[in-house]
Structure 1
Amino acid sequence: MPVNETLSQFSDWSYTTAVVVYVLAMIFFLVEQSFGRKGTQGAERTRVRAAELVGAGGPPSTTAAEPPAGSAGPTPAGRERSRAERFGRMGVALTVLAVLLHLSALVLRGLSANRVPWGNMYEYTMAICLVAVVTWLVVLRRSPVRHLSAFVLLPVVILMFVGGTMLYAESAPVQPALQSYWLVIHVSAAAASSGVFLVPGVASVLYLIRSRHEKDPQKFARFGPRLPALDVLDRVAYRTTVFAFPVFTFGVLCGAVWAEAAWGRFWGWDPKETVAFIAWVVYAAYLHSRATAGWRGNRAAVINVIGFAMTVFNLFFVNLVTTGLHSYAGVG
């Protein structure tokens, strides 16, 4: 069927608008990250100081207690915290709007070519980023990590910028080798798992930064204290990896079945297959180490970061640089 150029154009406009809205949301989250916890830290320092004075026999400080009845209202620290939280909530609203635009771009792209919208690197990257942001929105409902949203949106914005410029491909039918129902099953599982893996990858990097700061307060002195507690970051990384790993495993198995149908063998040590298998081993090692008490903490986080690095390496280097049976990037 001929490509619907109108739908393709609308898809491109939705994609570009989504990137702009993601950037705006990231700015709002950075405002919350920068100012949202100053009031909390100041109040905590005041309470600690008041406790020291009382312990030394001094008079209790009224600034450490709740505002007295009839006071004019919240303290300046409370107002500062409230304003920053308002920016954070607006950032979430903008992120939801961007997700709707992002989803529209993906759906319109598929409708324009009358196929699933992940037949080349541009579309595949678009799908991965959509899954990553949706996953983060789910995490926000379960964990107090909203002020970290900018660190998740940053790689998403970078990937979408690269996808929309260097990896962009016109809407067109896929190559004959990809005209199979396995494109729907195998590639969708790979895109979904890769998108979810972005969240624990970022969480593990932040875990290592927070851990380094706690061991040496001089390291990341301005940034480390603003991060959530180590157990929160560890829980986010572990739970999202637990969700993504079975989907990734399913995608690898489906790829083997498709390879047998297309090339007459389940496994051929193609570069894409090899790196995917290495990434699978790394994530399996992470889950095993995380479930073992002696391997929790920094070592488990390092393994998770390595797994995410292998996923990114497989997405870009293997697809764009190496030559193999999976060379369907569609770039240019």
Structure 2
Amino acid sequence: MVCYIIAFALHSAEWGFARGLAAERASDGSEDAKRINVDLYGRLGVAATVVAVAANIVGVVARGIAAGRAPWGNMYEFVTAAMAFLSVLYLLCVWLWRGRWLGLGVTGLCALMMGLAITSFYVEVAPLMPALHSVWFIIHIVAAVLAAAAFNVAGVASVLYLVRSRAERKGEITGYLAKVPTSRRLDLFAHRVTAFAFPIWTFTIVAGAIWAQYAWGRFWNWDPKETWSFITWVFYAGYLHAALTAGWRGTRAAVLALIGLATFWFNFVGVNLLFSGLHSYSGI
């Protein structure tokens, strides 16, 4: 968690030093110095994220070794694994598409969720209930955390789209927004990442149904977790369908994507805390 906090602080400094910079290249030395600081803190933020991911993965593996099983048996373990996947996906975006502009949102989310995992979700290592001893359980969870990572990267891009498009309308592309892709590119990026995540989320639900059939003798029981997983699926299906058929792009698409992400997070955290059901094995 500490490494994620440091990474978030460095990316915050990156945005802070960029404040007031114009989109055009500055001519005075003070502006040039600010640009150097922006780049320096950005690179340090990425480096800190690499260290955080390494520590996170080591922690997940150590938990699995201590438990003698796949380390995804409760909410604490799921959160730590999901944040590792999210951070790795962010670093891939940095490497492949110069996506450092995602850093503030991603590291902030990781720091928050890891903090909650340690302070609120932590439970002692314990054996899994018999129903979870299935290869379909592992497949189901791996698909879920991968989809979670992609949905959250798309969510960060959607938030940045709303901020950047508002600045473009006002003609105020200054500070770090000058380094963020255009609103059109952000919209396209969010759409493509969501299109990548959606079939994985679909497979998550299917794998969970197969696992439920083996574990409890039925594919679907309208358990709160199942229901909210389906609600999330419906929102993202609507997002992709509206984009392809009705031409929904821009602000409407970004808002719909963020509503879908909100349903995902409610399913991810809220359902575990507020409801009981077949997924109540999570230990919190």
TM-score, with normalisation over the residues of structure 2?
Answer: 0.91
Mark the runs of 5 or more structure 1 residues left unpaired by the alignment: 1-18, 45-62, 64-73
Give 1:113's match in structure 2, choosing from 59, 64, 67: 67
2:237 is aligned with 1:284: yes
Alpha-carbon spacing, 1:232–1:141, altered in 2? closer, same or farther (3 Å): farther
Paired position in structure 2 for 1:160: 114
For 2:131 and 2:278, the matched residues in 1 are separated by: 10
Paired position in structure 1 for 2:86: 132
- Percent identity over paired residues: 44
2:20 is aligned with 1:31: no
Paired position in structure 1 for 2:258: 305
For 1:283 and 1:137, the matched residues in 2 are separated by: 24
Q: Which moved more, 1:87-96 or 1:201-210?
A: 201-210
2:32 is aligned with 1:78: yes
For 1:156 and 1:84, the matched residues in 2 are separated by: 22
Paired position in structure 1 for 2:54: 100
* Partners of 1:40 and 1:77 within 8 A in 2: no
RMSD over aligned CA atoms reads 2.3
2:137 is aligned with 1:183: yes
For 1:280 and 1:301, the matched residues in 2 are separated by: 16
Give 1:214's match in structure 2, choosing from 147, 168, 172: 168
Per-residue deviation at 1:224?
6.1
Per-residue deviation at 1:83?
2.4
After TM superposition, the runs of 4+ consecutive aligned structure 1 residues lying more than 4 A away are 37-40, 220-227
2:149 is aligned with 1:195: yes
For 1:264 and 1:229, the matched residues in 2 are separated by: 50
Alpha-carbon spacing, 1:37–1:290, altered in 2? closer, same or farther (3 Å): farther
For 1:224 and 1:91, the matched residues in 2 are separated by: 17
Count of paired positions = 284
Per-residue deviation at 1:173?
1.1
CA shift digits 1:39-71 (9 cap, x unpaired):
443636xxxxxxxxxxxxxxxxxx5xxxxxxxx
CA shift digits 1:134-160 (9 cap, x unpaired):
111111123344144112111111111
Partner AA of 2:69 in structure 1: R
Give 1:252's match in structure 2, choosing from 205, 221, 241: 205
TM-score, with normalisation over the residues of structure 1?
Answer: 0.79
- Rg (Cα) greater in structure: 1
Alpha-carbon spacing, 1:173–1:164, altered in 2? closer, same or farther (3 Å): same
Per-residue deviation at 1:123?
0.2
Partner AA of 2:252 in structure 1: R
For 1:279 and 1:240, the matched residues in 2 are separated by: 16
2:196 is aligned with 1:243: yes
**Higher relative helix content:** 2
Alpha-carbon spacing, 1:261–1:152, altered in 2? closer, same or farther (3 Å): same
Per-residue deviation at 1:313?
0.5
Partner AA of 2:78 in structure 1: Y
* Partners of 1:118 and 1:124 within 8 A in 2: yes
Per-residue deviation at 1:237?
1.2
Paired position in structure 1 for 2:274: 321
